[in-house]
Chain A
Amino acid sequence: MRRFVANRLVKTAAAASLFSSNKTTTTTTSSTPLLSRFLTSSPPPNPIMPSHSITLDFINPKVIECEYAVRGEIVNLAQKLQQELVDKPGSHPFDEILYCNIGNPQSLNQQPITFFREVLALCDHPAILDKSETQGLFSADSIERAWQILDQIPGRATGAYSHSQGIKGLRDTIAAGIEARDGFPADPNDLFLTDGASPAVHMMMQLLISSKNDGILCPIPQYPLYSASIALHGGTLVPYYLDEATGWGLEISELKRQLEDAKSKGVTVKALVVINPGNPTGQVLAEENQRDIVEFCKAEGLVLLADEVYQENVYVSEKKFHSFKKVSRSMGYGDKDIPLVSFQSVSKGYHGECGKRGGYMEVTGFSPEIREQIYKVASVNLCSNISGQILASLVMSPPKVGDESYESYTAEKDGILSSLARRAKTLEDAFNGLEGITCNKAEGAMYLFPRLHLPEKAIKAAESAKTAPDAFYARRLLNATGIVVVPGSGFRQVPGTWHIRCTILPPEDKIPAIVERLTEFHKGFMNEFRD
C-alpha cells in the first residue's frame, strides 16, 4: 500500500483525538500557518488525549483526509525563503523565488486581454458610459459590448444576485460560443456559471457521492482538486493509470480493468473524470480515443466529467482540441443518450484570469429531477460573482473579424499562445537534456511533468529524511535555486515512479536562467547521489 494512503488511514483513525489541545490560548501569531497535514511526506502525528472543553478540535475527518499539494509544503518553504531574501539579502544562492508550481499566469507577468478588461471595467462602473470622455479612454467595441451586457442584466444592476445558474443573457452568449466551437447546439438552460470551474466540480462530486461505496474514476496523474473533492465528499477515488511510455495515453483496457477491480471491492463507480488537455500531463487526446471513452461511459452507465479548462492551450499542430460534447454529438449520441458534464474556466487558456473566478459547467443528458437537485445546490450559494460571469461570456465570444479590437485582441492572444508553446518546448528540451530525467512533450495545458529516474542513493537519502523522493528532490531544488515545483506525489503516479510538475509560465526572459540553474543543480545532485 502506498505510503500516503497508509498515512491517511492512520490520520482518519486518529482524527477524533488528534486535535485537542490542553492549551487555552490558541491565537497564533506566526505569519505562516503550520501545514503539517499537507503532503504525503509528513509522518503521522502522535494522538493526544482529548480535552473535554474544546469542540472544534473534533472535526470532520473528511476535511482532515483531503489533501491539496499544489499549495503545500514546498510552497510554504518557498514563501519562507522569499521573506528571508527580503530580510537578509544574500542569504541564499539565488536572489528570487521562481514559482513554477501553479498555473497562475498573471502572477508571472502575463498581461490580461485588454478588450476583456475594458468591458469588465465599464460593467463595474456603468455610470461613466454616458460620459463623452469615456470614448477617449475605451475602445468603441468594448463600450458597445458593455451596453449589450448591461442590457441583459435586470436594472443593469451588476451588484445584484443573479439567477442561480447565471445571468440568462450571458448564458445565451456562452451557448452560442459553444455552438460556434463545436458545430452542435448548446442550451443555455444546461449552463451553470460558477466561481471558477472548481466549485462546479465540487457540486458534481457532492451530487454523485453518497458514501465510500461510490467511486469516481480519475486519471493518474491527476490535478489534485479531484482527489481532494472526492475525499471531502466521502467517496472513493478509483485510479486509472495514464501510460507515460505512450505520451500519457489513455487505454480503455486500463479503464475496464480498474472498473472491474473497483466493482469486486464493492465500489459502485459513478463517473469518469477526463482532463483534456491533461493536467499535469499535458497530453491532448486523439479524437478516436475520445470516441472510445464516450462508448465506454455509455456501455458502463458512467457520467463523463470532462475537464476542458485548457481547451485553448494546444501547442502541437498534429493535435486539436475537440470537446467531448462535440465528439459525442458527432457519434450520434444526443441529450438522451449520455450524461456529460463539461467544465470550462476563465483561469487558463490565453486569458489566465485565475483571480476573477469565472467558469461554467455544461450539464447534458440528465433527467429533470436531477437537474432540479443541481439547481438547488447552486441556489444555496445564490449565484457566482457577476464579474466572473461576464468574463466567461467574453471568453466564449471574443472580438470577431471586423470589430475594432479584433486585431489587437488577436495579437495579444497569439503572442501569449506562441510564447507558451516556445516555453513548453524549451523547458521540455532542458529536462530531457538532464541525466536521469525523461520528459514527455507538453502537447497542451501549462505544465511539464518530467520523470526523475533517481539513483538508489537518492531514494535512500529521501527515506532517511522521511520524505518522498520527489519531494526530497523538489526541496533540494528549491533550496539551491529558488525554483518552486510540485512533487509528483501530489498528483499521484505509478508507484515507484517519481516526477515533478513544473509550469511553463515563468516569463520568457527568465527561462534561460531557470534552465541554467536547474541544469547546474541537477548535475550537482547527480554527482552527490549517483550510484
Chain B
Amino acid sequence: MSTKGLDYESLNENVKNTQYAIRGELYLRALELQAQGKEIILTNVGNPHALGQKPITFPRQVVALCQAPFLMDDPNVGVLFPADAIARAKHYLSMTSGGLGAYCNGGGLLGIRKEVAEFIEKRDGYPSDPELIYLTDGASKGVMQILQTIIRGQGDGILVPVPQYPLYSAATSLFGGSLVPYYLEETANWGLDIQNLHQSVSEASAKGITVRAMVIINPGNPTGQCLSESSLKEILQFCNQENLVLLGDEVYQQNVYQEERPFISAKKVLMDMGPPMSKQVQLVSFHSVSKGYWGECGQRGGYFELTNIPPQTIDEIYKIASISLTNCTGQIFLGIMVNPPKPGDISYDGFLRESNAILGSLGKRARIMTKGFNSCRNVVCNSTEGAMYSFPQIRLPPKAVEAAKRAGKVPDVFYCLKLLEATGISTVPGSGFGQKDGVFHLRTTILAAEEDMHGIMASLKKFNDEFMEQYEDTTEAILGLNE
C-alpha cells in the first residue's frame, strides 16, 4: 500500500526525529482509557478551560459581537451586552478591512499591534514600535517562524534550557538544527549558571556547531522559576558576548505566585542596561492569550516583539508572516488582554473580580501541589514560583528502573503510566522535557479545580507511596539510601 511517493523511509528525517511528548504516549494512553469509560484527569497540558476554569466574560462578549455585528443593529442588544463591550466591538471592527472574515495584514491588525505596543511601554517604561510586533496564531507559531528563520542547517545550534517546554526541541529538530542544552540546577531553585552556559557553547563549537540563539522561558515551564533581574542581566551579557539572539518566552508573565521575584521582561532589563547593549543585543519576546489568568488556549492568539533585529531580516520575517496569516478573533482577544477594562468602565468590577479569583486560586493550588508532592515518599518538589506546573522529582528506586527497562519503557514513563492506570491522573513524564541523566520527574499542571485538589494529591500520595514500597529494597529503605 505504501507507494514510492510516501515510503516511510523517504519521509523528511527531520519530521521523524521530532518528538513532542505533551501529546505523546501518556496522552494517547489517557485518551484510550477515557474512551473505555475510565475517569481521567488530564493534567498534561496547560489548558485551563478544559479543567473547568471559566472564560473571562468581557472578551467573550466583545468577540461575540464582532462575530455577529448585525446584533448591534438590534435595539435589544443592550439587554445582553454591556455598553462598553458594544463600544469595544465597534472599536475592533473598525480596525479590520471587513470584519473578522477579512484577511488581516501580514503582521496582524495595526490597531491591535498599537495596543500591544502601548501595553509593553506601560509595563516596561520604554517605547515599543507596533511595526516590530507580529501577531501570530498562538506564541508557538511565532516561535516556529523565528526558529525557521534562524536555522540554516545542522551546523546551527539553539541553546535550550533543560528541562524545557518541548516546543523548542521539536521546532529545532523540525527545522534541522542542533539542540544545545544548558542545565537548570534543581537544587538551586532551577537557577542557571553562566559558567555552565559558556561551557555548553564551547562544547558545541568543538563539535562544529555555531550557537545562534538562546531560549529562556520566564516564568519557567515546566520548572516554574521566575528569573531575577540580575540573572536576566547576566543572560543578556552572555548573549552579547557570544553573539546570540535571545528568545524570551514570556507567556506566563501574568502567572507569578510569590513576591521576591516579580516578572520583569527581558526587554526592560536590556533597555535598563543602556547603550551599547540596549542597541545591539538581538531579542525576540513572546507572549500569548493562552496562559495568564485568561487561559484562552483555543483562540490561538499571541505575538512576538523584535528588538535590534536588522531591517532586511525583518523583511524576511514579514514575508513569511504574509504567507500564512493569523486569525482575527485571536488578535482581538490579544487586544483586550493587553488593554483590559479600566476603573470606571462598566465591566471593570466584574473583570477584576474574575481575574483576581483565578489568579488567587492558581497561587493556592500551586502551594497545595508543592506541599502535597513533598509529603510523598521519595519525592522532592521545588515550589512553583510562576507558570502553571509542578515538576516534582521522583526518586525511583533501582528496582523500579529495572522493571521499567524490562517493560521496554523509560523509567519516568513507566511510573507515569502506572500512575495513570491506578488513579486516572494523566501527567507528562519528565523525559519529555529533558532532565539530567538518571534523575526523573513528572510534570503536572496546577489547573485541576481547587475543590478537587486535595483529593488528587491524596490519590497521588497513595499511589506513590505504594509504588515506592513495592519497588524499594527494604535494606535500602531502612538506611535511607534511595538513589
A97 to B123, CA, bound (A): 38
Which B residues are in CB contact (< 8 Å) with A29? 129, 131
- CB distance A354 to B102 under 8 Å? yes
Name the contact of A59 in the complex, choosing from B51, B76, B141, B150 (C-beta under 8 A): B150
- Is there a chain A Cβ closer than 8 Å to B202's Cβ? no
Contact yes or no, A60 B152, CB < 8 A = yes
Measured between beta carbons, the chain B residues less than 8 angstroms from A114 are 68, 70
The stretch of A181-189, A192-200, A453-461 that contacts the partner chain: A192-200
CB contact between B324 and one of A18, A105, A202, A214 (< 8 Å): that residue: A202
Mask of A60-92 contacts with B, CB within 8 angstroms, 1/0: 110110111001000000000000000000000
Contacts of B37 in A (CB 8 A): none
Q: B316–A59 contact, CB under 8 A? A: yes
Told that A356-B329, A379-B20 touch, could you supply 11 new A-B pairs with CB distance under 8 A?
A55-B212, A63-B319, A122-B64, A124-B64, A137-B71, A159-B295, A161-B50, A228-B323, A229-B323, A367-B1, A367-B8
Q: Is B356 positioned at the interface, with any CB of A under 8 Å from its CB?
A: no
A301/B12 contact (C-beta < 8 A), A28-B311, A29-B129, A121-B65 known: no
Q: How far, in Å, is B174 (CB) from chain A's closest CB?
A: 7
- The interface size of chain A toward B, counting residues with CB under 8 Å, comes to 121
Find residues 1-49 in chain B having any chain A CB closer than 8 Å to their own CB: 1-6, 8, 10-16, 18-20, 22-24, 45, 47-49
Closest residue of chain B to A271 (Cβ to Cβ) is B5
| Contact of A262 with B by CB under 8 A | no
Does A59 lie within 8 Å of B313, measured CB to CB? yes
A 366-377 binary contact with B (CB < 8 Å = 1; else 0): 110110010011
A161 near B45 (CB under 8 angstroms)?
yes
Pair A107/B97 contact, Cβ less than 8 Å: yes
Contacting pair A198 B323 (CB below 8 A):
yes
The secondary-structure label for the interface of chain B is helix
Q: With CB as the reference atom, state the residue of chain B lying closest to A214.
A: B10
CB closest chain-A residue, reference B77: A137
Contact with A along B56-69 (1 / 0, CB 8 A): 01001101110110
What are some 30 contacts across the A-B interface (CB < 8 A)?
Answer: A24-B279, A36-B312, A56-B150, A56-B245, A63-B149, A66-B320, A106-B98, A107-B97, A107-B98, A117-B67, A117-B68, A127-B60, A136-B76, A157-B49, A157-B298, A159-B296, A160-B297, A161-B47, A161-B297, A196-B325, A207-B12, A232-B320, A270-B5, A339-B6, A355-B325, A380-B20, A380-B167, A382-B140, A382-B297, A385-B298
Q: Number of residue pairs across A and B with beta carbons under 8 Å?
A: 348
A527 interfacial contact with B, CB 8 Å: no
Nearest-CB residue, chain A, relative to B283: A56
**A162 is an interface residue with CB less than 8 A from chain B:** yes
Residues of B with C-beta under 8 A to A164: 23
One of B10, B129, B319 near A66 (C-beta < 8 A): B319
Report the minimum CB–CB distance from A300 to chain B (whole Å): 8
Instruction: Judge whether B137 and A195 touch: CB under 8 Å.
Output: yes
Contact surface of A with B, Cβ cutoff 8 Å: 18-21, 24-31, 33-38, 52-61, 63-64, 66-68, 71, 102, 104-110, 112, 114, 117-118, 120-122, 124-125, 127-128, 131, 133-134, 136-137, 154-155, 157-162, 164, 195-196, 198-199, 202, 206-210, 214, 225, 228-229, 232-233, 268-271, 300-303, 336-339, 347, 351-357, 365-367, 369-370, 373, 376-377, 379-388
